[in-house]
Amino acid sequence: MILNTELEYKGNLFPSKIISYKKDIDTLYFTSENNVVLQLTIERDSVLRFRYSTTGIFDTDFSYAISQFANKGFNHLEITENDTNYIITTSKLICHISKLDMRKSIYDAKDSSLICEDELGFHWEESYEFGGDIVKMSLKSQQSENYYGLGDKPVENNLKGKRFQNWVTDSYAFDRGTDPIYKAIPFYTALHHAKSYGIFFDNSFRSYFDFCHERRNITSFWAQGGEMNYYFMYGPDMTEVVSNYTDLTGRPQHIPPLWALGYHQCKWSYYPESKVKDIAAKFRELKIPCDALYLDIDYMEGFRCFTWSKEHFPNPKKMVKELANDGFKTIVIIDPGIKIDKEYTVFKEGLENDFFCKRADGPYMKGKVWPGECYFPDFTNPKVRDWWSNLFKELIEDIGVNGVWNDMNEPAVMDVPGKSFPNDVRHNYDGNHCSHRKAHNIYGMQMARATYHGLKKFSYPKRPFVITRAAYSGTQRYTSTWTGDNVATWDHLSIANQQAQRMCMSGFSFAGSDIGGFAEQPNGELFARWIQLGVFHPFCRVHSSGDHGDQEPWVFGSSITAIVRKFIEIRYQLLPYLYTTFWRYVGEGIPILKSLVLFDQEDPHTHYRNDEFIFGEKILVCPIIEPNAKGRRMYIPRGRWYNFWDNTIEIGGEEKWVDADIDSMPIFIKEGAIIPKYPIQQYVGEKVIEQLELDVYFKMGKESSEVYEDAHDGYDYKKGRYSLRNFNQVGKNNSLTIQQFKSGKYATSYATFKINVHGLPFKISSVEVDNEKIDITKLNGDVTFIIPKEFRELYIIGK
């Protein structure tokens, strides 16, 4: 006879005192009386991994986020103990683990200052509904501690006082504060006392982060299943934290082709073929630079992926070739939903090979998306990914499409609660079979991964280009991204600015927004202001819904068209600067955009700034985000900055008014910078670069700059066929010296530099290049002259 039908609700459970410890090379195991095991792995001197088991048994150690190329190894490791703690010391960190309850404190090994400490530390609840644990971690917030990152959250840069969840979600027309949205990037950077650390919670279940929201001085994160498994990364510079994170989760596997950094035009939808050609012709007629045109779902036959509408695009190969002859790359959309149609080859292959996701009791996962009822490939199965990658052969190799845009891959499902798969859908998870609760957040990532490998295979020897809407940590290895279906409002212009900064701070720099807004219709002023911002984002694309009118650069009148053209031309001039920045991002994980706090974390005025950012290393940008503005107040970071438009110098460290009518925006150049510029082109490769301009901004003292170049596509740069020029500038009261150090085997097409010197504090008496004098009577009034590209030292002497 059953006397009690109630389950015992145990509430939060905690580790008890440690009763044993063992070491296995770089991994330490601490076991408590109640069978909790803390596995501490020293990944690097500045990177520690904490992993907990509540049963004494760990799951298979598998993660889609962690790169196989992540660096491991350390210079120093010492383990000692006293009456109360085990003490683990590396060359960068000291970690104390309490013998009483496993709580941790982490210190800077250099000065013994406290970096991070547990509050309750690790604790958990048993999940009676699904089995396993709800795993939790709580940390004390230090005095004046602030928090940044977490991917695409549409809020201000500083996350303190807010709570979020990570559950990849189709969020059409999201608003400020909407949560969750398209991406799950459970990584944040914390800053206090001018020192920074990061935490990456590698758990793909639905997770939550609370930054002093529920309790004023407590930061916590938890997940609805899986393990408490997180990485602690120490800077102390924020840039080093992000670099450590991208080392761990991976960086793009190659530099994007230069054309991918140009201006892109997209709409839902450009069809039929005649419309696409009209758009292309208009760009060339109006001389507005553009490198890529996008085809949305209407190019397909009944929205069936990997097909073409015979009515709208009767000869796609011919069309793509003609667009290419005019300098346009063609990008097409591919969604995950495969229409249930026994006459449809892709559906038949998926069905025959059992490649589609299934419900718990065996039926296929069926959902409605654009084609109607669909089945969905299980991209967590390596056989499915391989099959999917091979489906791109015709699109890429035969027809000549240049890139693929993955959309609806959250995965989005129409007309159902939650707008996605139900929890009971089963996934292969690379042999670690699981439910959708665990696989949901990585589904879009694995689709992008399979797409990337298909394009890499069939684009070869060119570099692939992929863009995804949904992402988890590590997706930056495969693809670029945009921030999803935004709205044509002034607030969304501000949100786009903050989202792009946050994505870069979260290790995913190749990002941008739908310029002008996807939903609704901007007026000309809003569109112009959004273009001004968008040309300084790593990914630059206008995209809109056809339901709301046209959104090409010429539809808002001639005056707006002229402004749009002017700023797109600035982007094309700055392509060698942006390409160099991408080279650093791919090689070192340095964010392409830097929020002011990332640029100067020691200045407390930067900790809550949202609008201003550094583009690359040397250019300060601040968008105008209000209508009818003739300028704005902005914070100029410490140092001396040249106004891009008139070369006047601003002394930073305070907030100032900056004039910026509709045809302008606040742009400043860091003193000492050397900015490389190409001539304006209508598309990448239109012109042979016959001369590289170098804008030199004088600084009293020393400054270094770099220019990286290669063939702009292909993989020869990985064999040493690149050109890296390091410029060291030294400015004095009556002289300016620039030294060049070059490496790499690539020979650029140009033979000379056009040097434009700004801000010289003296009149020139002579100029020497490699100890030979130049005839200074040939100098232009604004101090411009031409010298051989292989010079070693340029010496400008004052009177």
- Which residues carry out catalysis? 407, 410, 485
- Distance between CA 523 and CA 556 in Å, rounded? 7
Q: Cα torsion for 559, 284, 574, 594, to the nearest 10°?
A: 70
Provide the sign of the torsion angle of the four alpha carbons 232, 233, 236, 241, taken in this order: negative
Quote the Cα angle for 477-478-480, to 5°: 100
Stated length of the chain: 799
What Rg, from alpha-carbon coordinates, does the chain have?
27
3-state DSSP assignment of residue 720: coil
The single residue listed with the structure tokens 């059409």 is 172
- Distance between CA 211 and CA 156 in Å, rounded? 13
Task: Provide the terminal-to-terminal Cα distance of the chain, rounded to the nearest Å.
Answer: 106
The single residue listed with the structure tokens 């089995």 is 131
3-state DSSP assignment of residue 650: strand
Backbone φ, ψ for residue 524 (5° rounding)? -60, -40
Backbone φ, ψ for residue 573 (5° rounding)? -65, -35
- Distance between CA 92 and CA 84 in Å, rounded? 22
Which residues face 106 on adjacent strands? 95, 116
Q: Looking only at Cα atoms, what is the longest distance across the chain?
A: 108
Q: Which two tokens stand for residue 786?
A: 């031409």
Half-sphere exposure (CA, 13 Å, Cβ side) for 672?
17
Q: In sequence order, what are the residues at sequence separation of 6 or more whose Cβ sits closer than 8 angstroms to the Cβ of residue 521?
A: 488, 544, 548, 549, 551
Backbone φ, ψ for residue 612 (5° rounding)? -75, 145
Q: Cα torsion for 339, 344, 347, 353, to the nearest 10°?
A: 170
DSSP string, 653-684: SEEEEEE--TT---EEEETT-EEEEPPP-SST
- Distance between CA 566 and CA 558 in Å, rounded? 12
The single residue listed with the structure tokens 């982490």 is 106
- Distance between CA 72 and CA 49 in Å, rounded? 12
Cis, peptide link before residue 461, omega less than 30° from 0 = yes
SS (H, E, C) 194-244: CEEEEEEECCCCCEEEEECCCCCCEEEEEECCCCEEEEEEECCCHHHHHHH
- Distance between CA 573 and CA 565 in Å, rounded? 12
Kindly state the DSSP code that residue 416 receives in the 8-state scheme: S
Q: Quick one: which of 463, 451, 402, 453 has its CA closest to 718? A: 463
Q: How many CB atoms lie within 10 A of CB 322?
A: 15
State the pairing for strand pair 613-615/654-659: unpaired
**Measured in whole angstroms, how far is the alpha carbon of residue 374 from the centre of its chain?**
31
Q: Which two tokens stand for residue 151?
A: 């991917």
Backbone φ, ψ for residue 751 (5° rounding)? -110, -15
Provide the sign of the torsion angle of the four alpha carbons 254, 328, 471, 64, taken in this order: negative
The 10 Å CB-count burial string (b at 16+, else e) for 644-681 is beeeeebebeeeeebebebebbbbbbbbbbbbbbbebb
- Distance between CA 409 and CA 217 in Å, rounded? 37
